[in-house]
Structure 1
């Protein structure tokens, strides 16, 4: 009986030690990636790194940026992965992101990365805005096809345009910033005032305006070009239009708590394997050796606005305060 007890105790101890030895380390990752792609990225990472589990905390860019700033003195995130470059620049300036040189850095496109010394963030992909135009609704309502930003101020579109609230959506903010940077402050704000007359509502998601246009809830959604291409490929009656001066930005990765597990998440996030997943949705990714053609994605190269991402980060609070004072009355309820 005694021997059986000892053997049983030893077996239990060995089992406990084995469980502890192989228990995965959990890494908290803050993200603004679209919710429908998170499982794919998590599964691919954990297949390669079975001793680490990702715990996603996901929200739109504006909300996630505000959360990280609010937690500055008591950070809860270990990695930030899939957040706008302008937000990452601000987080670095605030000391939230820590400088880190990931393995494989030499394989990345430098134009998507932190341009400053002691780099702290690295581009996963570049994403672009577009105008999602529902051709079926347009035919029904006899609406002309817009080709420029100025066209969208035509009263014929009154109540037929949705766009993201820039205070809660990075997609919205990068277009507001593009207008201000490329039109100039006075003309940019005047343009948004005219556009506001035609806005049905401002959403809290960057992709939602295009989804709404695809479903015919509005005729026009100022939104993510990648979402427009995907919906068109799925059969939505959309024309994905790129007026000159479209907003664009990189989505990037950076480290908050430089633990070994967090570093491995960052290293994998810039790997060729990860970039081969990004390219399924985004036309431009960080890895030099990964390229693909996305069905129905518009030609953005000649239409891209000139973007100063450091300026975007530094001006963010002032721009959003002004925008909210002027236009927030048409925002959807959260």
Structure 2
């Protein structure tokens, strides 16, 4: 009998341990940044809170489409990272939830403006300027023109050497499209993109893929956010980051709680946690060199600084509007995508 009760106690203890391991519940997260930082954030949050994170990595365009398709029965609780335009579009369409984090007073002005413009249905978590990275070894071997300006990307010596992403799936590429429209005017921008198409070997699904391909020597130039090019340089690849001489746009990587989230309280916990200075200061450990949104977070020495870059006054509200986005993407499909190499 004594042995019997000892066994019961042991079983009860094991059951209690198993229950406590999951007592803090789950969180369904979509991460639209590089997979390394996504995995790092997942591991850190689970360790600190005991909350089980079910994480999927999707580009921002893919995430927006998924959240929209699942609006009546959301499978996602929170969306972290990726360019701000799709987050603003989701907010505009009522797909995300208003939430004013107690961390707001610690954030940079650009992060707060992002939140205010969306009625606090999203918030800025990092920022980064658009540009490209080119392989300096290939540039010497193939003797193509050093690309320092948008105009240089049209040089015949770069035929087949450029990769950029498809703006339908990639927030990076949509930022590039919206940047060129704001720099040149819409018709001139599409004339430019039609000429650029002659030099583009591939339109990738992921925004960072073009410079990773350039790092491997598969192409000469990858049009990406500059911090993605810096990541390749930090890993020892012969990649030189470039801020285009005519001026460039930038992203405000954002975070949104999905309306109808099944694990709402855990989503809010992650939201507040991800805005902490100490959390954002660890991004460099994953070789993510964006500018953090918390004013007290450590800015990696490798991060491209806005004050060193000629930035346009990027209109997030106009180019985050669902109708404007739809119109530009339809025109890109018709005039560029249909004629892609």
Q: TM-score, normalised by structure 1?
A: 0.91
Q: Which runs of 4+ in 1 moved over 6 A?
A: none
Please list every run of 5 or more consecutive structure 2 residues that lacks an aligned counterpart in the other structure: none
Q: Deviations over 1:102-156 (max 9, x none)?
A: 1221101131232337412111100222221222212222212122111211222
Q: 1:116 to 1:229 in 2, by over 3 A?
A: closer
| Equivalent pair of 1:146/1:152 in contact (CA under 8 Å) | yes
Aligned positions of 1:167-246 closer than 5 A: 167-243=168-244, 244-246=246-248
Q: Deviations over 1:263-290 (max 9, x none)?
A: 1111101011221123552341110112
Deviation at 1:49, TM superposition (A): 0.9
Aligned positions of 1:63-82 closer than 5 A: 63-82=62-81
Range moving further from structure 2, 111-120 or 237-246: 111-120
Whole-Å Cα distance in 2 between the matches of residues 323 and 49 of structure 1?
44
Whole-Å Cα distance in 2 between the matches of residues 198 and 266 of structure 1?
41
Count of residue pairs the alignment pairs up = 330
Query: In the alignment, is residue 327 of structure 1 matched against residue 336 of structure 2?
Result: yes
Q: Deviations over 1:279-319 (max 9, x none)?
A: 55234111011232433847664322321112222122221
Query: In the alignment, is residue 273 of structure 1 matched against residue 278 of structure 2?
Result: yes
Whole-Å Cα distance in 2 between the matches of residues 88 and 71 of structure 1?
15
Q: Deviations over 1:77-102 (max 9, x none)?
A: 11111132111111111211111111
| Equivalent pair of 1:210/1:224 in contact (CA under 8 Å) | no
| Equivalent pair of 1:65/1:87 in contact (CA under 8 Å) | yes
Per the alignment, residue 104 of structure 2 pairs with 105
Whole-Å Cα distance in 2 between the matches of residues 225 and 44 of structure 1?
26
Please list every run of 5 or more consecutive structure 1 residues that lacks an aligned counterpart in the other structure: none
Q: Deviations over 1:234-270 (max 9, x none)?
A: 3322221111322311111121227221111111010
Per the alignment, residue 43 of structure 2 pairs with 43
| Equivalent pair of 1:245/1:306 in contact (CA under 8 Å) | no
The two structures, once aligned, show a CA RMSD in angstroms of 2.2
